[in-house]
Structure 1
Amino acid sequence: MYTQVTTQQGSQATKFGTFGGVFTPCTLTILGVIMFLRFGQVVGQSGILDAILIVLAAKTITTLTTLSLSSIATNTRVKGGGAYFLISRSLGVEFGGAIGVLFFSAQAISVAMYVIGFTEAFSFTFPKWDPYFTEVATAVNLGTFVCVYIGAGWTIRVQYFILAILVMALGSFYAGAITDFNPDYLRANLTPKFAEGENLYTMFALFFPAVTGIMAGANMSGDLANPSKSIPKGTLLAILVTALVYLSQAILLGCARPADELISNNMVIRDIAVWPLAITAGVFAATLSSALGSMMGAPRILQAFAHDKIFKSLEFFGSGSGPTNEPRRATVLTFVVAQACILLGDLDAIAPIITMFFMITYGLLNLATFYEAITKNPSYRPTFRYCHWITSLAGTIGCLGVMFLINWIWASVSIAFIAALHWYIRSKEIESRWGDLQSGVMFERARKSLLRLEAEVYHPKNWRPVIMALSGTGWTRPHIPIYGYWLTSGQGILTLAHVVCGDIEVHAERREQYEKTLRNFIAKEQLEAFPVVTCNQMLSDGIESLIQCHGIGGIRPNTVLLGWPREERAESFGANIRVIAQMRRSILAARFMSHRQRSETADESSELEEHWSVPEGTIDVWWRGMANGALMLLLAHLLQKNPGWRNNKIRVMRVVSAPEAKPEVERSMAELGAASRITFTPTVVITDRPPQEVIPKESADAAIVLLGFQTPEEGHEMELYLRMESIAGDLPRVLFIDSAGGMALES
């Protein structure tokens, strides 16, 4: 039943087995107050057949949930916290935190429900105490609190005695019901006799809290010797035994008494029993044991929740006492919550609220198991083999459906409460210290999407900017990653790349440090980007290996963004971009005068702030045809889609030498705007002067200028460099573009 284990301090701590730690608390919680005080009403109003349907439906949901519970419990090292621990380690800190609050509340309120049930039975047995209902309930709540405060070991031993009384009470009822069997009652009670305002769903809501005891064993997970073995076996056995009890009771109650008496007499089971005193003892024992079970479970949920430090205000309750780490602080809070609910004094009002809380918990537990199964995470290797993603999904849908069937308003409120807690925890950006399956879900989605993308036939309509920005470490040339981020505009993919020149055996650690630096830069500047660093003997080799190897499937870089060099590096730059062009990648070369003029001692933060500032002026695209023009215009459009650039109008600039050509050029540019569905202002410049005189003058006030170029042949690197330098002149921001094609403005 229980074993002794040695703690780190060398003291002996009790660890419970399947019977004492799981089966007994589950059975006693399930066969509790509802069975003795409300099940007669359920049978009387619903009729025998519908009562059986209610029991089977409730047991189906709890069985499916137990299969999910068993699967997760045998897939991880279960610690304290029960359902909270299992859900948080699967669905993540946001859902776990929301469930922690909700499940603790449900368990704490359950204490009040069971104490009120005990007090009802006590007042019925001793009528002189009826005027002191609240005082008696308070005393019972206090006594339950004291028992649990002393420790779980003592409480479990008390429950063995209670289980014996419960068995004796059930035997007394069965003997009396069989003796009082009446076929007329059987025929009359087969069909429903609902009172005004009641129906099958309200009866289900009244009954369902009776079966929520399946978590009583899981809540003790931190006190079990072998949780992964005891939780599945003990919980499923408890469900089977209690299902047989409730199904047989539904039939025997309907055969022993008329419906009116079943509905109006809360102690009808006592009147049926051959030994009424045994039922009285059974009611007292069952309600007290259920209260003890919930009083033990709720603090352990809160303790585990507080120990994870999701809410700083609750960290106080994470501490334990003694060698068994008893959650005494959390036990005090549980007592306070239960006492507040006792003052309401209405068992029928409390039951539906608890139903919603438990339903959400069960639904999320099923959902966690469903996601664990469908993501095919290699770490999901449960030893419990009788759970499938279909059963978990059925459990999730069943819980959600029953919630809305019972009371759609309370169901909506409960879901909204969970959603609000989830949003609040997410907004706090709490970093969990444990793994969850969110990354597994995203990985599986990405895997399937990549495979589907690989199978799709490419079409220019689906072209997106997949930019690899040769940004160095990010800090040294901040305009490169920032403009790369703007040019993808949330519709493409940006990679920040850095080539470490040298022998990889010498620079392996240096490569890792540079990648870490890039990750820090991306995180600090809140860029949607990926880092990649390669180590090669030469820069051109590094660029070549990045272009060939970086990416996967259809997500490979189609565009390379790099900085425009100074004159002394023009020839090597020409060689590098020739490698890029040969591999059919578009080239973007950013020539920013502010970077050239930057002081070597400039402050990094002020430099970044400057480059994040959107300059005033237009976005000028100098058009010379579709060869580079299509990509230039599309990138200008993507740049303008960023919130900070929306007020920067796009101008498409075209030079003609004769005035009579202007109307025709304006007409063709208007057709281009209509076909591309990009809003821009056509600007025709009439002049016969060379580009190096026209462009710097016409675009002097532009925020950025886009100019096309053609990658030079070998030996013509310096010629290209000098020509583009003369065309750009003293313009502060120029983006030179050589398009490899692949997109169509008309698509």
Structure 2
Amino acid sequence: YYALSAMLIAGCIYKYIEYRGAEKEWGDGIRGLSLNAARYALLRVEHGPHTKNWRPQVLVMLNLDAEQAVKHPRLLSFTSQLKAGKGLTIVGSVLEGTYLDKHMEAQRAEENIRSLMSTEKTKGFCQLVVSSSLRDGMSHLIQSAGLGGLKHNTVLMAWPASWKQEDNPFSWKNFVDTVRDTTAAHQALLVAKNVDSFPQNQERFGGGHVDVWWIVHDGGMLMLLPFLLRQHKVWRKCRMRIFTVAQVDDNSIQMKKDLQMFLYHLRISAEVEVVEMVENDISAFTYERTLMMEQRSQMLKQMQLSKNEQEREAQLIHDRNTASHTAAAARTQAPPTPDKVQMTWTREKLIAE
């Protein structure tokens, strides 16, 4: 009883001092302890996490309109559904100009972003950069967002909607440069297309599927993202399906068993479907072709060729492979197959879009 009484008296004294405003003279002790604990924790997490503990720490890139309002608020809804209040979330944006001229607009934009984060229940930090160009500002955010070990490993952004318009030629250039910066920083990139059609936090799906086309071996991130989404109330009743691509002469049954075992070790519940396609329908960026490209790059490095010689050698190998595939197709004279799902982006598909 004496201990409880002492704790009660100490609490009353603290509340009285807090009410009287004594912190104006000697500061808030609790805040000082919090800052000290935060500093200690940041020093402890200086090194990266273990592979098994990896989860997306997201940097959300928002676009602002002329009134400093967020163009795609559903991007924050998707972020809160993906993160569920766990891990690190940094919401960033860029204003073009100089800080001396744009500091008032920057403050107003930051207030708008914080208000939207509160509405969408997105727990995280807001970081706004004023730069001479949008491209440089996004590059600065990718490089410098975060503090110490509390840094992002994933960049989330919306697909550029006006990249085909002639009056906005820098839209697709900024997007491509951002992809390159993210790759150079060894970070994952999530691009949300048609983000304005994404569900809000108040919506609930009574069924449906979350389909994953697992083509290139990427360590399982494509499987982790829908798993995290299904932890949220919006997607909880959706079922997860994973489609993988195999050639006609591959052992589809064994491939399905291996993928099911892989999901079992990841503790992910999902349906597995193997889609058989002929070799001509499979993109050149599948896992096997990727291995061939890596082996060729290593071979060129071992040969110690110059840059121009490497380009000529790579083009020669590409021409030989193209000629061999064309000759094989002419010999077999296989009937044309119907169009199937486009697995990866090609130059023709990009122009068609």
1:464 and 1:491 in contact (8 A); partners too: no
Q: Deviations over 1:554-574 (max 9, x none)?
A: 111111111112342333311
CA deviation after TM superposition for structure 1 residue 461, in Å: 2.4
1:673 corresponds in structure 2 to 263
- Please point out which of 589, 599, 602 is paired with 2:191: 589
Q: Deviations over 1:134-192 (max 9, x none)?
A: xxxxxxxxxxxxxxxxxxxxxxxxxxxxxxxxxxxxxxxxxxxxxxxxxxxxxxxxxxx
Q: Deviations over 1:263-309 (max 9, x none)?
A: xxxxxxxxxxxxxxxxxxxxxxxxxxxxxxxxxxxxxxxxxxxxxxx
- Please point out which of 134, 159, 164 is paired with 1:564: 159
Counterpart AA for 1:445: A
CA deviation after TM superposition for structure 1 residue 519, in Å: 0.9
- Please point out which of 606, 617, 627 is paired with 2:208: 617
1:540 and 1:576 in contact (8 A); partners too: yes
Normalised TM-score (structure 2):
0.68
Deviates more, 1:583-592 or 1:521-530: 521-530
Secondary structure at the aligned position of 1:555 is classed as: coil
Q: Deviations over 1:459-497 (max 9, x none)?
A: 222323211111225741022211122222333211211
1:362 matches 2:9: yes
Aligned-residue CA RMSD in angstroms? 3.4
1:724/1:677 CA distance change after superposition, 3 Å: farther
Secondary structure at the aligned position of 1:665 is classed as: helix
1:555 corresponds in structure 2 to 150
Secondary structure at the aligned position of 1:506 is classed as: helix
2:220 corresponds in structure 1 to 630
Structure 1 residues 135-146: aligned runs within 5 Å: none
1:540 corresponds in structure 2 to 135
Counterpart AA for 2:9: Y
Q: Distance in 1 between matches of 2:260 and 2:351?
A: 31
Counterpart AA for 1:650: M
2:62 corresponds in structure 1 to 471
Structure 1 residues 356-435: aligned runs within 5 Å: 359-365=6-12
1:685 corresponds in structure 2 to 275
1:670 and 1:682 in contact (8 A); partners too: yes
1:514 corresponds in structure 2 to 109
Q: Deviations over 1:549-595 (max 9, x none)?
A: 22111111111111112342333311221122112221111111756
Counterpart AA for 2:11: L
User: What is the percentage of aligned positions where both structures have the same residue?
Assistant: 22
Secondary structure at the aligned position of 1:621 is classed as: strand
Q: Distance in 2 between matches of 1:548 and 1:660?
A: 43
- Please point out which of 459, 483, 488 is paired with 2:50: 459
The alignment of Structure 1 onto Structure 2 pairs a total of residues equal to 280
1:650 and 1:679 in contact (8 A); partners too: yes
Secondary structure at the aligned position of 2:275 is classed as: strand
CA deviation after TM superposition for structure 1 residue 663, in Å: 0.4
1:622 and 1:708 in contact (8 A); partners too: no
1:442/1:472 CA distance change after superposition, 3 Å: farther
CA deviation after TM superposition for structure 1 residue 516, in Å: 0.8
Counterpart AA for 2:157: L
2:37 corresponds in structure 1 to 445
Structure 1 residues 38-53: aligned runs within 5 Å: none
CA deviation after TM superposition for structure 1 residue 500, in Å: 0.5
Q: Distance in 2 between matches of 1:684 and 1:511?
A: 50
Secondary structure at the aligned position of 2:81 is classed as: helix
Structure 1 residues 243-322: aligned runs within 5 Å: none
1:618/1:438 CA distance change after superposition, 3 Å: farther
Structure 1 residues 74-153: aligned runs within 5 Å: none
1:695/1:634 CA distance change after superposition, 3 Å: same
Q: Distance in 1 between matches of 2:147 and 2:174?
A: 29
Secondary structure at the aligned position of 2:225 is classed as: helix
Q: Distance in 2 between matches of 1:437 and 1:695?
A: 61
Structure 1 residues 693-708: aligned runs within 5 Å: 693-695=339-341
1:576 matches 2:167: no
Unpaired stretches in structure 2, ≥5 consecutive residues: 17-22, 165-170, 284-338
1:583/1:593 CA distance change after superposition, 3 Å: closer
Q: Distance in 1 between matches of 2:192 and 2:147?
A: 27
Q: Distance in 1 between matches of 2:199 and 2:255?
A: 40
Secondary structure at the aligned position of 1:527 is classed as: coil
1:699 corresponds in structure 2 to none
Structure 1 residues 491-506: aligned runs within 5 Å: 491-506=86-101
Q: Distance in 1 between matches of 2:97 and 2:118?
A: 28
CA deviation after TM superposition for structure 1 residue 725, in Å: 7.9
Secondary structure at the aligned position of 1:483 is classed as: helix
Q: Deviations over 1:91-144 (max 9, x none)?
A: xxxxxxxxxxxxxxxxxxxxxxxxxxxxxxxxxxxxxxxxxxxxxxxxxxxxxx
Q: Distance in 1 between matches of 2:119 and 2:72?
A: 15
1:538/1:621 CA distance change after superposition, 3 Å: same
Q: Distance in 2 between matches of 1:612 and 1:359?
A: 46
Secondary structure at the aligned position of 1:626 is classed as: coil
CA deviation after TM superposition for structure 1 residue 444, in Å: 3.0
Counterpart AA for 2:183: A
Quick check: which one's strand share is greater? 2
CA deviation after TM superposition for structure 1 residue 380, in Å: 9.1
1:649 matches 2:239: yes
CA deviation after TM superposition for structure 1 residue 517, in Å: 0.7
- Please point out which of 62, 73, 78 is paired with 1:483: 78
Unpaired stretches in structure 1, ≥5 consecutive residues: 1-57, 62-355, 370-378, 383-434, 596-607, 697-706, 710-718, 730-747
CA deviation after TM superposition for structure 1 residue 695, in Å: 3.6
1:197 corresponds in structure 2 to none
Counterpart AA for 2:269: T
Q: Distance in 1 between matches of 2:32 and 2:182?
A: 35
Normalised TM-score (structure 1):
0.34
CA deviation after TM superposition for structure 1 residue 365, in Å: 5.0
Question: Which has the higher relative contact order, 1 or 2, with Cα contacts under 8 A spaced 6 or more apart?
Answer: 1
1:480/1:536 CA distance change after superposition, 3 Å: same
Larger radius of gyration between Structure 1 and Structure 2 = 1
Q: Deviations over 1:236-286 (max 9, x none)?
A: xxxxxxxxxxxxxxxxxxxxxxxxxxxxxxxxxxxxxxxxxxxxxxxxxxx
1:497/1:486 CA distance change after superposition, 3 Å: same
